[in-house]
Structure 1
Amino acid sequence: MLMIYLELFYIFLKIGAFTFGGGYAMLPLIQDEVIAHNWIDSQSLIDFIAVSESTPGPFAVNIATYVGAEVGGIFGSFCATLGVILPSFIIILIVAKCFIQFQKSIVIKGCMSGLKPAVVGLIGSAVISMSSTVFIPDGFNTTVFTDISFYTTLIIFLISVVLAFKKLNPILIICLSAILGIVCGYI
């Protein structure tokens, strides 16, 4: 049993150390590792991502805690959570200590410029991977247009477009989305 705790810590330590840009940039790595180790299936991970988005706290911490709890109970959740936050904690301590020296460094500015496109790519990869599982789990065919999930997806897309151009209260959007999800679940 000790090995599973060490493995949870190590896997999430790697994820926390080698991803920049927050939880969404971590999604492809989390998905690959969790599914490769058969800790959680793809659908369960997607379900928890939805739950994680609507619960307080950092996204990556919520997922690490959930996966750790599923695999190793309370101590497993502690190990996974510690693993994912430890690299950021150490880096922030170093940056805080040396902030003045880092602030004007051309090397640091170059690194940050190079990381921005990588983060966008990681987030894009997560969107494509998760979207295909959520919106077309059985592959794309003409029956997609007869399924209620197609129209739900279309409504969500239109809401996203409206949100991009209008300033609407996010709480209102979350409540409307929850109502839409409940209604579509009963149809």
Structure 2
Amino acid sequence: MELLKLFLSFLKIGAFTFGGGYAMVPLIQNEAIEVHGWLTNKEFIDILAIVEMTPGPIAINSATFLGYKVGGILGSILATTAVVLPSFVIIILIAHFLSKFKDSPYVDWAFIGIRPVVLGLIISASISVARNAFIDFKSVIIGVVLFYLISFKNIHPILSIVLAGVAGVLLF
């Protein structure tokens, strides 16, 4: 029964999230913590850190990792399949009908309307993660310094992860 819940949760996440992995974070968080209790807030932040450090899309990495935690290898397969299945089906349908509707102003207007929602979901995920990641003043300093280095000094994200890890070891 838990595997069916896992599959349906990630199918819903994959079907109703536009904007990629970051936009999925609030939905994954809600399903994993609030709805099913598969994770605590701390575990979710830890998983989020792991999936952002590993290659691949956040949604797929999250589904694979959480699926494994809930149901082992079969759970990983089911959650990963469920999260990509809606996109796969939608892309197949879009490819089939694209030539017919590609110049439609309604399609353009729909995407213009969806863009702000995607931004809102990403901001919501960022605020939610920040609430749980910033546990004290030292963690806020690490976050602010690395945000500055990434955003304005263009340091590589991998280097920022290493620097954050070193700062964590030194400060905590």
- State the TM-score, normalized to the length of structure 2: 0.90
Contact 1:95/1:102 (<8 A) preserved: no
Q: State whether structure 2 residue 156 is matched by structure 1 residue 157.
A: no
Say which is worse superposed, 123-132 or 53-62, in terms of deviation.
Answer: 123-132
- Which amino acid is the alignment partner of residue 3 of structure 2? Y
Residue 9 (structure 1) aligned with residue 10 (structure 2): no
Residue 150 of structure 2 contacts residue 156 of structure 2 at CA under 8 Å; is this kept in 1?
Answer: no
Alignment identity in percent? Answer: 47
Q: Give the Å deviation of 1:8.
A: 1.0
Check conservation: 1:68, 1:80, Cα contact below 8 A.
yes
1:181, distance to aligned residue in structure 2 (A): 2.6
CA contact (8 A) 1:61 1:81 kept: yes
2 CA distance for matches of 1:85 and 1:176? Answer: 33
Task: Name the TM-score, length of structure 1 as normaliser.
Answer: 0.84
CA RMSD of aligned residues (A): 1.6
Q: Which residue matches 1:144?
A: none
> Is 1:66 aligned with 2:65?
yes
Separation in structure 1 between the aligned mates of residue 46 and residue 142 of structure 2, nearest angstrom: 19
| Per-residue deviation, 1:26 | 0.7
Where in structure 1 are there 5+ consecutive unaligned residues? 137-148
What number of residue pairs does the alignment pair up?
171
Which shifted more, 67-76 or 150-159? Answer: 150-159
| Distance of 1:102 and 1:153 partners within structure 2 | 48
What does residue 124 of structure 2 align with? 125
Maintained 8 Å contact 1:15/1:29:
yes
Q: Tell me whether 1:88 sits opposite 2:87 in the alignment.
A: yes
Q: 1:43 to 1:56 in 2, by over 3 A?
A: same
**Counterparts of 2:158 and 2:133, CA distance in 1:** 23
C-alpha offsets along residues 117-149 of structure 1, whole Å, 9 cap, x if unaligned? Answer: 11111111111112112214xxxxxxxxxxxx4
User: Which has the higher Rg, Structure 1 or Structure 2?
Assistant: 1
- The one-letter amino acid of 2:26's match is P
CA distance in 2, matches of 1:134, 1:159: 14
Kept in 2: contact 1:12–1:64 (CA 8 A):
yes
Q: 2:48 is matched with which residue?
A: 49
Pick which of 41-50 and 168-177 moved more.
168-177
> After the TM superposition, which segments of 4 or more aligned residues of structure 1 sit over 4 Å from their partners?
none
Equivalent residue number for residue 29 of structure 1: 27
Structure 1 residue 150 displacement after superposition: 1.3
